[in-house]
Amino acid sequence: MVEHLWAGWRIPHMRSTREDASIPEGHTLFEAILGSGEPDEATFILWRGEHCFAILNAYPYCSGHLMVLPYRGVDALTDLEPDEYRELWDGVRDAVVAIEAAYEPDGVNVGANLGQGAGAGVPDHLHVHVLPRWVGDTNFTTAIADVRVMPETLSDSWLCIRDAWPVA
C-alpha cells in the first residue's frame, strides 16, 4: 500500500515562485516584509541591526534555518557598503552562536547562493543562509516524496532562536 505524506505548506511556496503582486514595484520580497508594518513575531524577523537583519526562512531546509541580509535590496556582495558588509558578517556570526545555543547541533551550514544560476530563490536581495545540521539528519522523504519533516513550527523556531540571540 502506498503511504501519502502530506506537505500542505508546499503549494504556497510553489505559487510564490510566480510574480507576487503584493510586492510594491521597485522593492524586493524582503523589503516588502520589512515595510509591511507587521510585528517581528508575524514576519519571523529575529534580529534588527543598523544595516542588516535576520529572518527565519519561511520554507526551511530544517528547523532553525534562517537568513541574514542587508535592509537594502542588493544582489551582490560587491554592492554592499563597508558598514553593511561588516554588520552582515557580524550578524552571521551571531546567528551561528544563537543556533548553537538554541539547538546544540552537530554542525552549522553557512552559505549564500549568489545569483539565480547559483540557486538563489530570491536573487535580487543578497542573503546568507545559516542552519543547524545533525549527523544523519537527511533521510529518504526529501528524495523520494519531495517532503521535509519539520519537528517544530516556525513560531517555535522563532522563539527558540530569538531567545538565544546574543545581546550586543
Give per-residue pLDDT as tens, 89-135: 999 999 999 999 999 999 999 999 988 888 888 888 999 999 999 98
Q: Is 51 a catalytic residue?
A: no
The reported pTM is 0.81
User: Would 65 be classed as within a structural domain?
Assistant: yes
pLDDT in tens, 22-38: 777 778 899 999 999 99
In Å, how far are 48, 50, 91, 95, 99 from 82, measured between CA atoms? Answer: 18, 13, 14, 20, 26
Which residues partner with 48 through β-bridges? 53
Query: Considering the domain boundaries, does residue 8 fall inside one?
Result: no
10 Å CB burial of residue 22 (0-12, 13-18, 19+) is exposed
Whether 62 is in a domain gets the answer: yes
Q: For position 125, which CATH number holds?
A: 3.30.428.10
Residue 4 lies in a domain: no
Which candidate, 100, 128, 102, places its Cα nearest to that of 114? 128
Alpha-carbon span 71 to 84, nearest angstrom = 9
Catalytic residue among 51, 65, 127, 129: 127
Query: Has residue 99 been placed in a domain?
Result: yes
> How much is the mean pLDDT over the chain?
85
- Separation of first and last alpha carbons in the chain: 55
Which range of residues forms the domain containing residue 144? Answer: 29-164
Say if 24 falls within a structural domain. no
**Residue pLDDT, tens place only, 73-85:** 999 999 999 999 9
Domain count, the chain: 1
Residue 11 lies in a domain: no
